Amino acid sequence: MIARGRNRTDAWNDATAHAELVAFREAAQIADAPGLDGAVLYSTLQPCGMCTMATIWTKVGRIVFGAGREDVHRMYFEDRNLDTMDFVKDAYRDDLVIDGGCLKDECAALYFRPGDDVPESEQGNL
């Protein structure tokens, strides 16, 4: 493992401090290079659009995630109709492997579920 991260958006007052980006930044410092060629990103949740694009730019070789869009509350994703995996499909790269559903139920239990009544003040993307 090169690095790991957790969501720091509130702690750092930084809307871009998603766990994936925190891990990418730390890994780049350790690797002393911006590219993480061939590295694997493990995430409990399908990466959002921002993190998916960052994965493409960092040249990560594989994404392994647990819960997907349908397994958690919609507030975790910024778009209703565009699946962030479409970014990967339409990227110039064709060597990025995506494996979703790894420990799906255990990972989904970490988040609000689709039918949960989440207070509007906690719904960042809605």
Least Cβ distance, residue 19 to Zn ion (angstroms)? 7
Asked if 69 touches Zn ion (CB under 5 A), the answer is no
CB-based contacts of 24, cutoff 8 Å, min separation 6: 3, 5, 36, 54, 58
List CB contacts of 15: < 8 A, sequence separation 6 or more.
9
By CB under 5 A, residue 85 contacts Zn ion: no
Exactly one of 23, 39, 41, 48 binds Zn ion (CB under 5 A); that residue is 48
From the list 84, 26, 24, the residue with the least C-alpha distance to 57 is 24
CB 82 to Zn ion: min, Å: 14
- Give the residue among 91, 2, 81 at the shortest CA–CA distance from 42: 2
- Between 48 and 72, CB nearer to Zn ion: 48
Q: Should residue 18 be labelled a site residue for Zn ion when binding is judged by CB under 5 A? A: yes
Catalytic-residue membership of 26: no
**Strand runs (DSSP E) across the chain, as ranges?**
40-45, 62-67, 97-100
Q: How far is the CB of 60 from Zn ion (least distance, A)?
A: 13
- Contact residue for Zn ion among 17, 23, 41, 51 (CB under 5 A): 51
90 three-class SS: coil
Residues with active-site annotation: 20
Footprint on this chain of Zn ion (rule: CB under 5 A): 18, 48, 51
